[in-house]
Amino acid sequence: MGRVFMSFLGTTGYVPVHYQLRGKTSGLTPFVQEALVELLCSDWEEEDRLIFFPYRRGPEEKLGRRRQF
């Protein structure tokens, strides 16, 4: 069974920052979810999944601004 990363996507305007976790620093991103995937999921394989739950307002805008993982 693969691993799963689940998170909610909000509608607030975010400012790009570098996130830090366990001595590692993420690339510049406005989304903590993107930083967590970068920092925690870099060794994931095809069977692993990322699942995002958008709030009712704004998911198209936020999803459109994210980069490809």
In this prediction, residue 21 carries a pLDDT of: 97
* pTM of structure: 0.73
Spell out, as residue ranges, where the chain has pLDDT lower than 70: 56-69
In this prediction, residue 16 carries a pLDDT of: 94
In this prediction, residue 9 carries a pLDDT of: 84
Residue carrying structure tokens 């060794």: 43
Full domain range(s) for residue 8? 4-65
Is 57:13 a contact under the CB 8 Å cutoff?
no
Residue 38's φ and ψ, nearest 5 degrees, are -60, -45
In this prediction, residue 13 carries a pLDDT of: 77
In this prediction, residue 63 carries a pLDDT of: 61
In this prediction, residue 14 carries a pLDDT of: 83
